[in-house]
Amino acid sequence: METVKRAAQYCAEQGIEVILDPAPAAPCDGQLLRCTDFITPNEGELKKIACEDDMEKGARKLLDAGVKNVIKKAGAKGCYFINRDRMDYIAGFKVKAADTTGAGDSFNAGFAVARAKGYEDRKALEYAKGNPELLEDLLKTKRLPIGQLATGSGVERKTLERHRKYMVALLLIYTNGYEIIRGHLKQVMKGVAVR
């Protein structure tokens, strides 16, 4: 645990986000918690770390100890995102799991990658949804107006080009009917901040 504490302290000093997966669960040092931007316990780990059976009270204890955000993993049910400003439930999605070994590690890896990417493409999508002439241009030319998106949203052209197909699909879903898919996406994305 001393190595983890020192690594977290170094990252915090360098302005690098710290995502702590507290497994196996053990009481955490106050200094480690103060250096933690995101802690991602499952239900049992949260109870053990916070010495609290109630999820919300346990998360609040960790926030009071200095953690900035708590993501309580709930397996197939999804997760809970808790910080000082809000508590959101993010539903899981159905998969046919052959083996759940490593599911929490996979969750953390995916979360870390998403944080590292900065979700810039979501910022561009929000801009595009608010500027219908871009959608009209897309429908007319069958090409994503990358130059206009980059200028208007402040997202790098290279990022937009890399995520072009994904963005076209989402723009069409959000603007051309597809109510069932749109409803599902809204449920999945509930509580995810647009950067």
Which positions are annotated as active-site residues?
105
| Joined tokens for residue 188 | 């999945």
In 3D space, the residue among 92, 44, 39 whose CA is nearest the CA of residue 70 turns out to be 39
Q: Could you count the other beta carbons within 10 Å of the beta carbon of residue 60?
A: 17
CA pair distance 129, 83, nearest whole angstrom: 28
CA–CA separation, 65 vs 80, rounded Å?
A: 19
Token look-up 């059976």 returns 53
> For residue 59, which of 78, 87, 35 has the smallest C-alpha distance?
87
Place of tokens 């493409």: 121
- 3-state DSSP: the chain helix, strand, coil percent, rounded to 5? 55, 10, 35
Q: Nearest to residue 80, comparing CAs of 35, 40, 30?
A: 40
